Structure 1
């Protein structure tokens, strides 16, 4: 069982409001007690209202719980934008709530990705930075659907700018950072560009068709061990 699935199962168990021993939780999940201790630390750090400590047991104290939700990437984009606005413009209490909500979402995102989302966490990339690329996301989404090339001005990690023509293939969410996987004609290879580092974007009249070695399926295949 993946860690995210186990964390969700633990939340379902704890939401009954009763005290649960780590030993019992470990037995029900088929893992070690040490793993349960780590899981509880992750839930608490993510803002899930779990009280307790090692040797005593754990209990969930939240007065409100929500059923599981299946979100589309567009819905996740809207939620992300809302958290970005609140995280930058609201009062201190709501800013803290935006941070804990974002952490809860990150805790249950799928783990089977080609990069490590934890390395792009809130402390390193605050909402304001990620929000910088939101204005380009509708055009990227539209171009993915239409197979339309884009001309982008992109800043690397040092701030150096480059002009490149890309074939956008998909957008992905990595915990407050959105990226677009594309075929970059400048590099003649696949690239994963952080959308918040795009400084300018222009849809081109030129469309593209899937070519062997340049498709999303080819990119996915290239990442397999």
Structure 2
């Protein structure tokens, strides 16, 4: 398994908010404990809001506090998207100002809890998918199918967008592969909203995806393992 794929797998396992022991994560991904520790450090440095440490376990947190403001995850997402877009601006003064503001925000966000706005590794091209977010959000609300190009052309039912401290993913039911997928937005090269709508069908709903993930989580939980 490539490292980027393994990191995405770890994010999927941690997304339920429960505490996961490093030994269980290592077994689920087929790597050593030392590799899991390095991966957790990498994800945290890349902006994924991970809480925990060696010997206790890890979980992904959602609440973000920026004194004296309490920010929701959606509000912090908006900050990240705006700053990332401005850092790509042709105006050098505007790009420099966005970088400066991002640095100041990183300086006051609580250590260990908040996504870092300047994190770039291991998903260095995360900003590339920002252009598709409005279409995807609109399609989720309107329950419209999308035609996406990633490693292939596929028709999907978008179910939910998730944000992981600069990395965006979208849970979809893929009509092309006939299965659920958790797509990285930065890997989408083309996105087109289709006129066809979709309705809830058993086995293709967000609740079905969550049930599937819960069952997969149960397969690697081993109570006798140490973190």
SS in 2 for 1:169: strand
CA–CA separation in structure 1 for the residues paired with 2:128 and 2:211: 31
Is contact 2:83–2:98 with CA below 8 Å preserved after alignment?
A: no
Give the superposition deviation at 1:106: 8.8
- CA distance 1:142–1:86, change in 2 (3 Å): closer
CA–CA separation in structure 2 for the residues paired with 1:70 and 1:153: 33
Q: Normalising by structure 1, what TM-score?
A: 0.55
Residue in 2 that maps onto 1:170: 160
Gaps of 5+ in 1: 1-40, 47-64, 110-116, 155-160
Give the superposition deviation at 1:66: 1.8
Residue in 2 that maps onto 1:62: none
- Larger Rg, first or second structure (1 or 2): 1
RMSD: 3.1
Gaps of 5+ in 2: 1-40, 47-65, 90-94, 219-227
Q: Normalising by structure 2, what TM-score?
A: 0.55
Is contact 2:158–2:172 with CA below 8 Å preserved after alignment?
A: yes
The superposition leaves residues 187-219 of structure 1 with CA deviations (integer Å, 9 ceiling, x where unpaired) of 111101111111111111110001111100111
Task: Compare relative contact order (CA 8 Å, sep 6+) and give the higher one, 1 or 2.
Answer: 2
- CA distance 1:135–1:88, change in 2 (3 Å): closer
- CA distance 1:99–1:177, change in 2 (3 Å): farther
SS in 2 for 1:84: helix
How many residues matched? 145
Listed as ranges, the matches of 1:73-88 within 5 Å are: 73=74, 75-88=75-88
CA–CA separation in structure 1 for the residues paired with 2:187 and 2:80: 17
